[in-house]
A and B are shown apart, each in its own frame.
Chain A
């Protein structure tokens, strides 16, 4: 029982990080219907900014998060303006291939010796690790930090999306962007803002990932990105609570399979669940069924 609860805690830890990445995917998809493959690499850049801030400059934790958020936001807005905006009215597949191109570029450009380098770098712990033992279940302050930072981000996001003018504009654009434009919403600004907001969350996620699994590499964004996207689809893409739910399911299933079956099947199980869920509910757990118009 203790072992099981311990695994639940470990699953929550990775699930929360996936949730932060999945939100970026789901918001961007909700607005421009684009699978933003470069998002996982923005997450990687966030982790590297965190690495530099902690190791080289020894900034306090808050400054580390802020620098990662700012860096990722600027990067994502740049990518959106340079690569995706010119293709907004082209066939959807052109943007998708461009997204893959941006993703490959970020991975291989940063892995050059002249940039970050191709190796694995250890991410120093920015604070001493404290372990609490509660009836045989170990909880670390790292997990506490991940939990509180993620919940804070989710509440902030909920506030932005449902309580601000920009949030209302985002929901309007996601519902119907032509009409939203006609109603005086500046669609371009809203789309850039969405990319930036998603990237900010990915930046926070990158730093948290670095703290929890203290090794970073320029290709580290690929698998978490893919899984986070899958989580977003699992929960119903375009749906914010769905993304979090999907990410938590993803984290749990992955941890449980590693713990009870074999860690070799860890990457596979998430996708088995995805395919099963899609067969049962083709638009994801919390997704609304789409009506076909003739």
Chain B
């Protein structure tokens, strides 16, 4: 009964969001291009929540988030292409498999590297990201379907508004409940002071693994959704700049701030696309001149992130409610 009651609010929110956006899209109020951007923003938000667990909550500096995003994307796309066809159930399974693959790789990478501290962990994960880019680039040598540097085609367009909204809400629920559980408190204590946490009897390595693997799973699921949104994958979609994109979102939103990450994901994606529309033709290449300037100015004015420490009511823990 309690479980059912706790599910009412998310289900209502889901029905409202997915229904209204779908209606607006079907009715032609919002054109398909912007619907696709909205879907992309939701996907990026899922991936960013993942990095927020890793860096914002656990305090593990990761510069290789896009690699896990890519692992999820390629796994899901490969499974769907070879076994799935057009079935919705298979799509769901493929997304979970993408998340699972990202989690498995995160375990393997985390075991040795999570013993490193701060910047060294950042460089090790950055290195892992570059290695994975090289792997994606030459993936057609061992699995021709993956396309390698030419890109992967023939992926079904399965990602729709209901799917992305479902996974976005699910990810928010999981992050919120994780952070406000005893696991979450252990994870936050590691970020605040690892030595003190260890002194209090917390198995820091185990909880770092929990945070890292959970965050990478989010990236994997988001990657699967991304693969079936544009129906085309290219290794350059998962390079160092994509990791930086997500990191920028998490930092702009405020480290460890779920609401901030959510808002910053939408803001960032719509800023990128909006500038394309706003700038006069012939000046579109000024987009990437303006964005870094905005980024630098924001950092100079608000180094703690746009949201600081405030959270939306539905993302607060019970104690504060």
Interface of A toward B, CB cutoff 8 Å: 33, 35, 83, 86-87, 90-91, 93-94, 97-98, 100-105, 107-109, 111-113, 118, 226, 229-230, 233, 237, 262, 264-265, 267-268, 270-272, 274-275, 278-279, 282-283, 290, 292, 294
Cα of A294 to Cα of B247 in the assembled complex, Å: 30
Expressed in whole angstroms, the minimum distance between the Cβ of A117 and any Cβ of chain B is 11
Asked whether A108 lies within 8 Å of B251 as measured between CB atoms, the reply is no
Asked whether A278 lies within 8 Å of B137 as measured between CB atoms, the reply is no
Expressed in whole angstroms, the minimum distance between the Cβ of B48 and any Cβ of chain A is 14
Chain B minimum-CB-distance residue to A91:
B303
Asked whether A101 lies within 8 Å of B123 as measured between CB atoms, the reply is no
Cα of A270 to Cα of B126 in the assembled complex, Å: 12
Asked whether A87 lies within 8 Å of B303 as measured between CB atoms, the reply is yes
Chain B minimum-CB-distance residue to A274:
B127
| Known A268-B134, A274-B124, A278-B116; contact A112-B289, beta-carbon cutoff 8 A | yes
Asked whether A282 lies within 8 Å of B116 as measured between CB atoms, the reply is yes
Say what secondary structure dominates the interface of chain B.
Answer: helix
Cα of A5 to Cα of B184 in the assembled complex, Å: 56
When distances are taken between beta carbons in the complex, the residues of chain A under 8 Å from B134 are: 264-265, 267-268
Asked whether A97 lies within 8 Å of B293 as measured between CB atoms, the reply is no
Chain A minimum-CB-distance residue to B122:
A35
Contact with A along B111-148 (1 / 0, CB 8 A): 01101110110111011101101110110000000000
Asked whether B296 lies within 8 Å of A268 as measured between CB atoms, the reply is no
Asked whether B127 lies within 8 Å of A104 as measured between CB atoms, the reply is no
Cα of A281 to Cα of B122 in the assembled complex, Å: 16
| Known A91-B304, A226-B130; contact A278-B299, beta-carbon cutoff 8 A | no
Asked whether B131 lies within 8 Å of A271 as measured between CB atoms, the reply is yes
When distances are taken between beta carbons in the complex, the residues of chain A under 8 Å from B123 are: 229-230, 233, 274, 278
B291 contacts partner chain A, Cβ-Cβ < 8 Å: yes
When distances are taken between beta carbons in the complex, the residues of chain B under 8 Å from A118 are: 285
Interface of B toward A, CB cutoff 8 Å: 112-113, 115-117, 119-120, 122-124, 126-128, 130-131, 133-135, 137-138, 195, 240, 244, 247-248, 251-252, 255, 285-286, 288-289, 291-293, 295-296, 299-300, 303-304
What is the number of contacts between chain A and chain B, taking CB atoms within 8 Å?
A: 118
A-B contact pairs, 8 of them (CB 8 A): A97-B251, A98-B295, A101-B296, A104-B295, A112-B289, A268-B133, A272-B127, A278-B116
When distances are taken between beta carbons in the complex, the residues of chain A under 8 Å from B137 are: 264
Kindly identify which residue among B124, B127, B296, B303 contacts A90, using a CB–CB cutoff of 8 Å: B303
Q: A86-B300, A94-B304 are in contact. List 16 more A-B contacts (CB 8 A).
A: A35-B122, A87-B303, A97-B252, A98-B295, A100-B295, A101-B292, A104-B295, A226-B240, A264-B134, A267-B134, A275-B124, A275-B127, A278-B113, A278-B120, A279-B113, A282-B120
Asked whether A83 lies within 8 Å of B119 as measured between CB atoms, the reply is no
When distances are taken between beta carbons in the complex, the residues of chain B under 8 Å from A98 are: 295-296, 299-300
Asked whether A100 lies within 8 Å of B248 as measured between CB atoms, the reply is yes
When distances are taken between beta carbons in the complex, the residues of chain A under 8 Å from B126 are: 226, 230, 271
Cα of A91 to Cα of B296 in the assembled complex, Å: 14
Asked whether B255 lies within 8 Å of A108 as measured between CB atoms, the reply is no
Chain A minimum-CB-distance residue to B123:
A233
Asked whether A271 lies within 8 Å of B130 as measured between CB atoms, the reply is yes
User: Which residue of A98, A108, A229, A271 has the most chain B CB atoms within 10 A of its CB atom?
Assistant: A271
Chain B minimum-CB-distance residue to A86:
B300
